[in-house]
């Protein structure tokens, strides 16, 4: 039995867009678009290049405020 391997970008999409879709809130969150709510992570490096870069957090924006 083989397991599917995702690219870093596919992992990011699965955790954001896919997560919102799975719990039925994709109309209001899950992607960055006008009119949607979002909490954001500002990273020091591109997570699409290396998924480990998701740990290189510079800022966290939650409910419009920088909390880190």
Residue 48 lies in a domain: yes
5 pLDDT band, cuts 50/70/90, is confident
Residue 14 lies in a domain: yes
pTM above 0.85, yes or no: no
Residue 2 lies in a domain: no
Residue 54 lies in a domain: yes
Please give the pLDDT value at position 52.
94
Cα angle value 45/51/52 (rounded, 5°): 75
Q: How far apart are CA 60 and CA 43, in angstroms?
A: 9
Assign residue 57 the CATH number of its domain.
2.30.40.10
Using one digit for the tens of pLDDT, what is the confidence trace for 6-60? 899 999 999 999 999 999 999 999 998 999 998 899 999 999 999 999 999 999 9
Q: Which domain holds residue 30?
A: 8-66
Q: How many structural domains are present in the chain?
A: 1
Residue 43 lies in a domain: yes
Residue 3 lies in a domain: no
């Amino acid at each position: 039995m083989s397991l599917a391997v995702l690219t870093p970008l596919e992992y990011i999409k699965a955790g954001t867009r896919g997560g919102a879709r799975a719990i039925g809130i994709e109309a209001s969150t899950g992607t960055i678009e006008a009119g949607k709510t979002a909490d954001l992570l500002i990273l020091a490096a591109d997570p699409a290049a290396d998924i480990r870069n998701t740990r290189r957090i510079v800022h966290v924006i939650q409910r419009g405020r920088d909390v880190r």
